[in-house]
Structure 1
């Protein structure tokens, strides 16, 4: 009788225990330079049915802490101290065989990088089905229906058709949604979400987070959210843990902590976060002729909507780029219907100013940028750069065009050759176009390093030896090498933490002021767009639905889709100071 009572008490203790308790956790990695302490003395508690967010910049230890909780540290990593209690049971001493029974069914994971976590040679539906079958959540008879149900719940349209496609046929945001579907399929009691929406647009992000919230309410699931987006953390988490250099520096209720941060590091995060304090951080003034340009640009757009033939007469005169009725059509595989990646896009880029294109994945913003870069050819429409028709450039003119228009891509790691030193990467455009002597090129490289605030001793390093922010500065330095007039920035800060993001945005602003650069800024982050843009163009399903000054779009949006985008910004309604 005593033994039965003891068992009942143990069951009751497990039910009453917090979902996750991390006590004095220490994690280290064995490296060629010795033992490196990645996490030290970290403690926090996640209660049942609640969401706790861990925030901090890259290298702060937040993802390492999450991976320790699920037993997925790299081979050279190990827990060197503390305990990880899941429903009262310490996971640290458990063997891998025991962890496999917990991982997936009891503790789910949504990892960050969709390309490295999806099998490139297996269809999306097959990968979701594998998860369902392994954990006994479906049988072979109904697994297809369950796959469609799970993909639909994760926000994927046409789920039945999408299940038949491969990862390379998905956009980045769609791949991330597939990962979320796999992580949510098992209906785990604890879901660890490591930057689950970093690749998603705000409207899709809200859909996914609403679905996670629904799961939390209906199933009592607890969520450990790893993010660098403070607005998202404030909106979705009840508790917040701030990590810096492997240590927990502040914990508390999310909204309270972000409204009144005590630790200097937390204060710096809040100041740097556009998604939390967009109104306070946005530019307060524009160029002297901003009001005039705003009126002309808006008039041009409205006149185009009524009568496309009359747009050219209403367009501003001092534009470095003028795009008229630009259209890109792709043939659908296995379908007689055409796909319009861009449809009748008309916009201008005034010289020395920033025009932002915003919209969801698949809205046509990157397609428009690629056509302007002449990486893909438009189906119809015209593009002029400094008065020249881009479509009719001969070989010499095209070479000149490519020197005057330069891109900065989203991922600062994949856009840099990992086998080249930083010096060779920055010097590459100068060599390609035979600019100057060897000595002059070396001097120019050092000048560029100064412009992007990188030390000269970084020239002998490789991309893997730099942080994400430093790599993006290298990408900007390379883009500046040929002294271009227009830089096309395709999601240049979406992969960066808020502190580094703020540094890059300030750098772009300083360079524009110093060098008179024009920017076409592609982004799905409206808070970032508000900080940097003079004009905003909103795209949906390949079409331009609204175009006006940044002030006008954010203060008085006209199109319902624009209003929906603005309403979806995480933390937008919290008014965090």
Structure 2
């Protein structure tokens, strides 16, 4: 990495920064007394829990605070130019050309009715980085540099035709398009699998070394911060509590809050959060022993799980008899999509078979586009399979209708990857969480209100947020609301599609423990989809590895993480950022 001379002025200087937001309860100061320098060619990571002020600080630098926010005090200079108070006309020239941005949420930052290539072309043309004659070529080059395969084809597609990880890569392409001097990356790889994450981070590293581009990396991934940043700033409740060299901060933290962050960081070397797998020592009931007083009026008796010596199957041949030990069984699942403008169909999932033992967790891992989410959507009966069978509690899911389908919807609940698009922006947080209780007529109004408050406590959100709307919450806070909503009906199976990818490590650890506690006490079952193998190591009993729509390896979690057999699985494990660092307790 190229270093600036000792007497050279920093590229970015932040001094005594304070940001306030106007709310229904009055003015709230989100960050205060923030000060730091960032040199050309340096990568600075800002870490901290959701709501600590990380993203607010970044948005203040680029002048993109929400309408109710303002810089109350302080100075921000870029290469000596004061940005605080600069006219919008000046900031428009700076954004994209001098300061690039990779925002956290791809769905709310990509135009849904504009092709991906068009959106990148607009950035290049607006800042004079391309002409009408060569912009198409530069768009393809930009997408390829961001790690998107078949870039020429992808440039012609729309955001809804991309997976979550592909959309995030498109945002990264836009942020890097003009080779900015400063790149603000707000959780730039939170939706990406580890192999693509490595590609993107390597690209950011090359920019830092070759072009002298400074990177402000906002992340909750301490391993990533330790591996990619030269310095780390730790924020808590709007203030900086510690800053210094990355390895020093993460290996020898001084502040109590930093110590708590490091202790909560997941590691692939960590042991399973729930050391003893649920084996019939408790049964889920619908009486007073239920985790919630809002249980359905009618419920089938719980099925006993096998003794501790039994080994539940992970894969099952198509046509095999149902095993009562499994809450869900998938046989030969296949999903084929028609591709517009192409004679060839696209097989998103190809002949996948596995089972979820009752009261246990099966994780599906793999790269973006490997078929993980498509498999989950078929299990949720949100997408119909092209071939194969899905059985829940011994019933064929495809044949469910009427009362049986209504019962299935209550027993199988999702936690989606993107909390912004899965929460109604017109509903308050209270109404969002209460919605499934109202729809399925669970309890009285008083009981529902109590249940909502209990769920807010469970996911570590203050009850004062109940009157707020999704747009007033951070990405991590929105995801906790989505988790609370999924837990509201106390379902038997929860399909978790990247449920903690947007959460900081402290809340992530709390949510994982909550999921583990529910499983231990009530026999909760989970299908856990994630690209974060360290999290999978903590939560899963079994792991299925998917690549290009196919199941390439399936085994116990212990076998996968200690003795992976497939080269692709070994490549995934080798790509985890910070895996070689001893930063987890």
Query: TM-score, structure 1 length as denominator?
Result: 0.87
Matches for 1:154-193 after TM superposition, within 5 Å: 154-193=146-185
Matches for 1:318-333 after TM superposition, within 5 Å: 318-333=325-340
**Rounded Cα–Cα distance in structure 2 between residues aligned with 1:409 and 1:569:** 23
SS of match in other structure, 1:145: helix
Relative to structure 1, the CA distance from residue 61 to residue 379 in structure 2 (aligned partners, 3 Å threshold; closer, same or farther) is: same
Partner of 2:88: 96
Partner of 2:320: 312
**116, 134, 139: which one aligns with 1:147:** 139
**195, 201, 223: which one aligns with 2:193:** 201
**269, 273, 276: which one aligns with 1:283:** 273
Q: Is the 8 A contact 1:445 1:481 kept in 2?
A: no
Query: TM-score, structure 2 length as denominator?
Result: 0.86
Partner of 2:528: 521
**Rounded Cα–Cα distance in structure 1 between residues aligned with 2:394 and 2:16:** 64
Q: Is the 8 A contact 2:33 2:239 kept in 1?
A: yes
Partner of 2:287: none
Partner of 2:313: 297
Matches for 1:364-383 after TM superposition, within 5 Å: 364-383=371-390
**34, 37, 41: which one aligns with 2:33:** 41
Partner of 2:502: 495
Relative to structure 1, the CA distance from residue 428 to residue 64 in structure 2 (aligned partners, 3 Å threshold; closer, same or farther) is: closer
Relative to structure 1, the CA distance from residue 236 to residue 381 in structure 2 (aligned partners, 3 Å threshold; closer, same or farther) is: same
**119, 130, 138: which one aligns with 1:138:** 130
Partner of 1:114: 106
SS of match in other structure, 2:183: strand
**Rounded Cα–Cα distance in structure 2 between residues aligned with 1:16 and 1:558:** 51
SS of match in other structure, 1:250: strand
- 1:541 CA displacement: 1.0
Deviations 1:258-286 (A, max 9, x none): 01111111111111221xx4423643733
Structure 1 window deviating more from structure 2 (94-103 vs 546-555): it is 94-103
Q: Is the 8 A contact 1:122 1:166 kept in 2?
A: yes
Partner of 1:230: 222
Partner of 2:59: 67
**Rounded Cα–Cα distance in structure 1 between residues aligned with 2:456 and 2:64:** 37
Structure 2: runs of 5+ lacking an equivalent: 280-305
- 1:531 CA displacement: 0.9
Deviations 1:470-502 (A, max 9, x none): 665554454445443222222221222221111
**Rounded Cα–Cα distance in structure 1 between residues aligned with 2:579 and 2:108:** 32
The Cα RMSD (Å) is 2.9
Q: Is the 8 A contact 2:543 2:557 kept in 1?
A: yes
- 1:408 CA displacement: 2.5
Alignment partner of 1:446 is 2:450: yes
- 1:542 CA displacement: 0.8
More helix by share: 1
- 1:450 CA displacement: 3.5
Q: Is the 8 A contact 1:449 1:477 kept in 2?
A: no
SS of match in other structure, 2:17: strand
Relative to structure 1, the CA distance from residue 519 to residue 105 in structure 2 (aligned partners, 3 Å threshold; closer, same or farther) is: same
Deviations 1:506-531 (A, max 9, x none): 11111111211111111121111111
Alignment partner of 1:267 is 2:283: no
Structure 1 window deviating more from structure 2 (469-478 vs 396-405): it is 469-478
Q: Is the 8 A contact 2:270 2:538 kept in 1?
A: no
Relative to structure 1, the CA distance from residue 293 to residue 362 in structure 2 (aligned partners, 3 Å threshold; closer, same or farther) is: farther
Q: Is the 8 A contact 1:325 1:344 kept in 2?
A: yes
Q: Is the 8 A contact 1:357 1:538 kept in 2?
A: yes
Relative to structure 1, the CA distance from residue 452 to residue 424 in structure 2 (aligned partners, 3 Å threshold; closer, same or farther) is: closer
Deviations 1:510-562 (A, max 9, x none): 11112111111111211111111111111111111111111111111111111
SS of match in other structure, 2:226: helix
Deviations 1:341-394 (A, max 9, x none): 111111011111111111222211121122122222111112222222222335
**Rounded Cα–Cα distance in structure 2 between residues aligned with 1:447 and 1:396:** 25
Matches for 1:378-393 after TM superposition, within 5 Å: 378-393=385-400
Structure 1 window deviating more from structure 2 (91-100 vs 114-123): it is 91-100
Structure 1: runs of 5+ lacking an equivalent: 1-11
Relative to structure 1, the CA distance from residue 155 to residue 405 in structure 2 (aligned partners, 3 Å threshold; closer, same or farther) is: same
SS of match in other structure, 1:104: coil
User: Rg: which structure is higher?
Assistant: 1
- 1:14 CA displacement: 12
**Rounded Cα–Cα distance in structure 2 between residues aligned with 1:163 and 1:412:** 26
